[in-house]
Structure 1
Amino acid sequence: MDSQFLVSLVIILITFAIYIGIAVANTAKQTSDFYVAGRGIPPIFNGMAIGADWMSAASFIGMAGTIMLLGYDGLGYIMGWTGGYLFLAILLAPQLRKFGRFTVPEFIGDRFNSKTALVIAAICTIIISFTYSIGQLSGSGVVIGRLFEIDARIGTMIGVVLIALYSAFGGMKGITWTQVAQYVILIIAYLVPVIFMSFQLTGNPIPWISYGEIVTKMGELDRELGISEYFAPFTNASKWQFLALMFTLMCGTAGLPHVIVRFYTVSTMKAARWSGAWALIFIGLLYFSAPAYAAFARFILMTEVAGSQISNLPTWTQSWVDTGKLQVADNSGDGILQWNELVIANDIVVMATPEIANLGMLVIGLVAAGAMAAALSTAGGLMISISSSFAHDIYYRVLNPQASERKRLFVGRMSIVVATLLAGIIALNPPGAITQIVAWAFAIATGTFFPALVLGVWWKRANAQGVIAGILVGLGVTLAYIFAAKYGGFTILGIIDTGAGVFGATAAFLTNIIVSLATPAPSKELQDEVINLRYPEQMVYKDGEVYLNDGSTK
């Protein structure tokens, strides 16, 4: 057992002990604890939990690698994922909190007074969360595979067992407070290496300022090698793909069920708004750092690895070759590793960077712990989302309304175990890179929930027939485009599978509006309830008048 492995293992075990201790101390004893943490989470801590829930393996492991490989074109991920929180905090979160339900499908079912809409929304939640969880389990496999120097697929199955046990135990209450600890660990783990690299390469420990200098130097290297310049826009994708990806990720963020449910865990509309504000700050720390991470890692690879003798490569390369995520080959036969002969998966850039930059065993172990925190925190939220959609929305609200709390908790926990196992089997041979798989989940959310929620909150004329038709058409168009683009080579304006949400959302909005106008309007009570969502919590709209909670007219 080498010292690097031992240090990483000890750090990960310590963090796991912290997570388990918090989960045990906050075990869910009733359904409100299991699904919405008793609605008692303070906004600043909820912002941290949202940050941890949000900064998944795709963000922690895949983001910097994607930007490193795509350059300018990779910025669409950062702008889309961050900008979506503005949509969510302004357009939806406070209003959904005022409606006061447990889940997004429950809001849709009650807002439109339709069990059919409830079931369809629950199925969509399961599809979105399941797709997203494949990316998280694949990410955990990368971390565990490198730690134990085993195939990433074996690491994935180890991750399945860990995540299933962890998610089923505490419910939303336990997961929320665990996510606060996970956020602290993952953000420290993410920032320490990039600060060290910044100081190593530029003498300036502030990476957000210094990485521009490195990008300029890389432009010179790119010209020498005759490859596309790192910061040249639209060299890896079309302008339309860039815009479509941004739109898909923004609207998908505002429609993700496992993110929206976090706003149900606070006590008021005001607390929901502040949760969104804190989340943006906490998320921004990582997302502002990702471009610097990417630039530093690429520069070190170009200057210290490429151009080396194949027989004298750094020792870290063999460890990553063993995981199947790194390939080196002397295709030219000159005994020198050329830049174009180095094939590095974007999923390993952050994990490999401490070794690439020779930052020491402690930092390597810290990054491994942070990556596990990212995968676990998001996986936990996703599994709760799947569980609540099946156990609460379908089982309790439709199939067995008389079920006891104990039975509901049992069904919820079992659905987590089954969903994790199924997602893990698919993650053994993932259909794409982590960021790509996650982008599909966002595309589906964009095509289904974003139009349904925006119209459900802001258009009182939207009715059950409209939302059902809109969700089904949006889902069909999004999935059809993803499969056609990925497996059939079909594109419109150069928009590939990760930008499919723009077509799904357009189809869903149009379908919802046209069908709603062609069918009877909702009842006056439902329309009043929709208008009521737009007023502060202490006000109530009824019969054309706005009242304070004490009954007096405003």
Structure 2
Amino acid sequence: MILTMVIIYLAIMILIGYFYRKKAGSGEEGFLVANRSIPAWLGGGALASTYTSTSGFLGILGLMFAAGIAPALWGNIGLLLGFIIAMVFVAPQIRKSKIVTFPQFFEQRFNKKVRAVAAVVTVITMFVYMIAQIQGGAFAIQYVLGINYELAVAVIGLVFIAYVALGGSYASIATSFWQNLMMILAMVAVALIVILSQDWSQIVTGSVSNNPIAINIWGGPGPLFSLSFGLLLSLGVICSPHVVMRYSAAIDEKTAVKTTSSAITYLSVFYLATVFVGLYLVANFPEVSNPDMGFFLVVEELFPKVVIGLFVATVIAAAMSTTDAQLLTAASAITTDLYPILFKKDLPKDKAVKATRWIVIIIGLLTILVTLRPPELIFLVMALAQSLIIGAFLCPLLLGLWWKKTTSQGAFIGMIGGFMASALLSPAMGLVNLPSPFLSGPAGALVSLLLTVFISLSQQKTESRGLIEEDRKIN
């Protein structure tokens, strides 16, 4: 029965892609930004799903098991704060710019050189992010169905490649909306059963007994760990390419703002429910071999098998809801941004969509190949991708939107410097032991800020001196 539910879900996702194939094939705007026709209720659900992925659906419970509710609490606060900032300072401006890819903004505001760097960073970070999402979904299928991990990776990968290649942004947004509803309903349903199944005072007492830091507001590793995690999520929301591009699909600027507020509502409900489920996990399962799979331990104890099938499909939805947007963002960065820069000409309009579809397939297959390894802790892979995005894009994006003195050279050096700093400081590199594994992104953003501002102001002074010298010669 569980396998049947999973097969039905996967088939529906492919059918959605097939349904939108003609609309997506209408041109570049149709394939990449759904002809800017997405209403707030639909776009908000799709936007929210980018952060209720496997890292949020499974990884957050694993993190709560190890460090208590503090990371979830501060992560949720940071996430919602980031969306509020994006709603005011990013969403309407991005929609107004009428870009069809994220790197395109940087040429519109600066020059082609900055756009090229943005495109390369986008491809790299989206690729790393997709690995984390597919790992989580495949690990979930392997754990529940007992199938081979490599087969699970292939199934998830091939299905999301199919519906994105067929339906483009239309399919990505439509499937992400329904995946978001599935995830919210699943987590809320489990939370309600958890609350009703056991006296809540026993859950709290049991969680503290099994893990003394379970309800500590700062968590076991200390305040810096939890606060830096919240900061990482907050900054990542503001500048992640696959998130920013959801705004371009909105009908207009007002709709882009409403889309973000709708996402905030969805996420508030989802992450509140995760706190209850996380505490129940800690209280009733003192020893867990893989904390990332804690959600299934709770579900298997409280629900019949026919319902468990729906929950497995929901976890697959969590993996796909973010991955499809990231795949589309990475593919468009190659065909729409890098190709014109490298070959000095745009792809012909009648070939652009076809080329993007082929790039979607190629990147998707490469992601599957790289992910065919034993999965690591989901959140660490996600944190690396998020840190690289923050280091490279946060400051050039915000300064480009709101500081007129930002120069192209400043944005160029700031983007490269921030990316390199985040990479070198990340725990994955093992070169520097930061007080928290979530600080490399904010540290990279600080480096980017200093470089962008310093170089921009230096150029302003140089240009001013040049104008003064010219005036003196004339006079």
Q: TM (normalized to structure 1)?
A: 0.79
After TM superposition, give the deviation of residue 298 of structure 1 in Å: 1.8
SS for the counterpart of 1:54 is: coil
Instruction: Describe the SS at the equivalent of 2:345.
Output: coil
**Ranges in structure 2 where 5+ consecutive residues have no aligned partner:** 464-475
Tell me which residue corresponds to 2:203: 214
Match of 2:422 in 1: 478
Match of 1:514 among 445, 454, 470: 454
Q: What RMSD over aligned residues (CA atoms) do the two structures have, in Å? A: 2.1
Partner residue of 2:5? Answer: 11
Q: Partner letter of residue 514 of structure 1?
A: F
Provide the residue aligned with 1:328 in structure 2: none
Amino acid at match of 1:13: I
Distance 1:522 1:425 in 2: 50
CA shift at 1:198, angstroms? 1.8
Q: Secondary structure at the match of 1:288?
A: helix
Structure 1 counterpart of 2:436: 495
User: Which residue in 2 is equivalent to 1:90?
Assistant: 88
Paired amino acid for 1:411 = A
**Residue by residue, what CA displacement relative to the aligned partner does 1:391-434 show, whole Å, maximum 9, x if unpaired?**
11111465253422332122212222222222223323367411
1:200 paired with 2:187, answer: no
Contact 1:62–1:349 (CA<8 Å) still a contact in 2? no
Runs of 4 or more consecutive aligned structure 1 residues displaced over 3 Å after TM superposition: 233-236, 485-489, 520-523
Unpaired segments of 5 or more residues in structure 1? 1-6, 203-209, 303-341, 524-554
Alpha-carbon deviations, 1:458-480, whole Å to 9, x = none?
10000100000000000010000
Equivalent residues in 2 for 1:310-349, closer than 5 Å? 342-349=287-294
Report deviation, 1:445.
1.5
Q: Is residue 244–residue 501 contact of structure 1 (8 Å, CA) maintained in 2?
A: no
Return 393-402 or 240-249, whichever deviates more. Answer: 393-402
Please give the alpha-carbon distance, in whole angstroms, between the structure 2 residues aligned to 1:273 and 1:62.
29
Residue 469 of structure 2 corresponds to none
Structure-1 residue corresponding to 2:242: 258
* CA contact 1:87–1:254 (8 Å) conserved in 2: yes
1:39 Cα shift? 0.2
Query: What letter matches 2:443 in structure 1?
Result: F
Q: Offset at 1:358?
A: 3.6
CA shift digits 1:478-510 (9 cap, x unpaired): 00001xx34537324x122x3211210110001
2: CA distance between counterparts of 1:430 and 1:234?
32
- In structure 1, C-alpha distance between the alignment counterparts of 2:7 and 2:62, rounded to whole Å: 26
CA distance in 2, matches of 1:36, 1:54: 19
Q: Which residue of 2 aligns with 1:103?
A: 101
Greater displacement, 93-102 / 469-478: 93-102
> Which of 439, 464, 480 is 2:408 aligned to?
464
Q: Which has the higher helix share?
A: 2
CA distance in 2, matches of 1:418, 1:468: 29
- Relative to 1, partners in 2 of residues 1:397 and 1:271: Cα closer, same or farther, differing over 3 Å? farther
| Cα separation, 1, equivalents of 2:331 and 2:218 | 40
Q: Structure 1 residues 175, 229: closer, same or farther in 2, change over 3 A?
A: closer
Query: Does 2:125 match 1:180?
Result: no
SS in 1 for 2:198: helix
- Distance in 2 between residues matched to 1:400 and 1:382, nearest whole Å: 26
1:437 is displaced (CA, Å) by 1.1
Equivalence map 1:292-441=2 (5 Å):
292-302=276-286, 342-355=287-300, 357-396=301-340, 398-399=342-343, 401-429=345-373, 432-441=376-385
TM-fit CA distance, 1:49: 1.2
1:96 CA displacement: 1.1
Cα separation, 1, equivalents of 2:440 and 2:312? 33
Alignment of 1:138 with 2:135, yes or no, is yes
Distance 1:268-1:65 versus aligned 2 partners, 3 A rule: same
Name the residue aligned to 1:21. 15
Which amino acid is the alignment partner of residue 251 of structure 1? L
What is the identity percentage for the equivalent residue pairs of Structure 1 and Structure 2? Answer: 24
DSSP 3-state at the match of 1:266: coil
Q: Residues 424 and 432 of structure 2 are in contact (CA less than 8 Å); yes or no, is this contact kept in structure 1?
A: no
Task: Say whether the 8 Å CA contact 1:450–1:505 is kept in structure 2.
Answer: yes
The 1:358/1:263 distance shift into structure 2, 3 A limit, reads same
Q: Which amino acid aligns with 2:292?
A: D
Structure-2-length-normalised TM-score: 0.91
- The superposition leaves residues 123-142 of structure 1 with CA deviations (integer Å, 9 ceiling, x where unpaired) of 11112211110111101211
Q: For the structure 1 residues 100 and 74, does the alpha-carbon distance in structure 2 shift closer, same or farther, using more than 3 Å as the test? A: same
SS of residue paired to 1:289: helix
Name the amino acid aligned to 1:190: M
* Larger Rg computed on CA atoms: 1
Map of 1:547 onto structure 2: none
Q: Residue by residue, what CA displacement relative to the aligned partner does 1:441-465 show, whole Å, maximum 9, x if unpaired?
A: 1111111111111100110000100
Q: 1:79 to 1:344 in 2, by over 3 A?
A: farther
- Between the aligned partners of 1:149 and 1:488, the Cα distance in structure 2 is 34
Corresponding residue for residue 444 of structure 1? 388
CA contact (8 A) 1:192 1:363 kept: no
Looking at structure 2, the residues matched to 82 and 522 of structure 1 have their Cα atoms a distance apart, in angstroms, of: 41
Number of corresponding residues: 459
1:247/1:501 contact within 8 Å kept: no
Q: CA deviation at 1:284?
A: 1.5
- Would you say the 8 A contact 1:61–1:348 is kept in 2? yes
Q: Is the 8 A contact 1:463 1:521 kept in 2?
A: no
